[in-house]
Structure 1
Amino acid sequence: MKLERELACRQVVELVTAYLDDALDPVDRERFEEHLVFCDGCANYLEQMRATIRLAGGAGLVLPPALESRLLDAFNDWRTS
């Protein structure tokens, strides 16, 4: 995926999972990290995501299928809006 030279905050939010999974190509990763240097809000968002992943990973929580489906639907609706 090739991104514009400068990323908007919305793009950072959409790419944060790929960034954390080390799935961005080197050029896009550099652009992502460059944005974080100048945007405290996105840098904080990334740290919040890391903390959430750490906490959720240790919880061993299994959601009921209906709740999981509702959450995924809500996330997908938000993402496409």
Structure 2
Amino acid sequence: MKRFTCDELVELITAYLDGALDRPERAGFEAHAATCADCARQLDQFRETVRALRELPPERKLSDGTRDRLMSAFRARRHRG
């Protein structure tokens, strides 16, 4: 099982939620999140954000372009620290 740092876990949250991690990666991700309160909180916040966005009426959902710009900004901010 791979052991993850907090930074690695943050990088993989979307892949984890999309079910895109292989079994060893998923196990390592879950083990880290189970023992790191900060990462568990980030995972919960990300899940809540996804849930909230899914509950918006169709006319209120983000356009693909807006979603892409937000995700790019999120990734850039994460890399800056």
Bin of the TM-score, shorter chain as denominator length: 0.7 to 0.9
Identity rate, percent: 39
Show CA shifts across 1:48-74 (max 9, x none): 1111111111113244687x2653442
Q: Does 1:21 align with 2:18?
A: yes
In 1: Cα distance, 2:8 partner to 2:28 partner: 11
Greater CA radius of gyration, 1 or 2? 1
Unaligned runs of 5+ in 1: none
- CA distance in 2: counterparts of 1:46 and 1:78, whole angstroms: 17
Q: TM-score normalised to the size of structure 2?
A: 0.75
What is the root-mean-square deviation in Å for CA atoms of aligned residues?
Answer: 2.4
Length-normalised TM-score, structure 1: 0.75
Measured against aligned partners, the alpha-carbon deviations of 1:10-60 in whole angstroms (never above 9, x if no partner) come to 111110001001110000000001101210110111111111111111113
Kindly tell me the number of residue pairs found equivalent between the two proteins.
77
Runs ≥4 residues deviating over 6 A = none
Matches within 5 A, 1:1-81: 5-60=2-57, 61-63=60-62, 68=66, 70-81=69-80
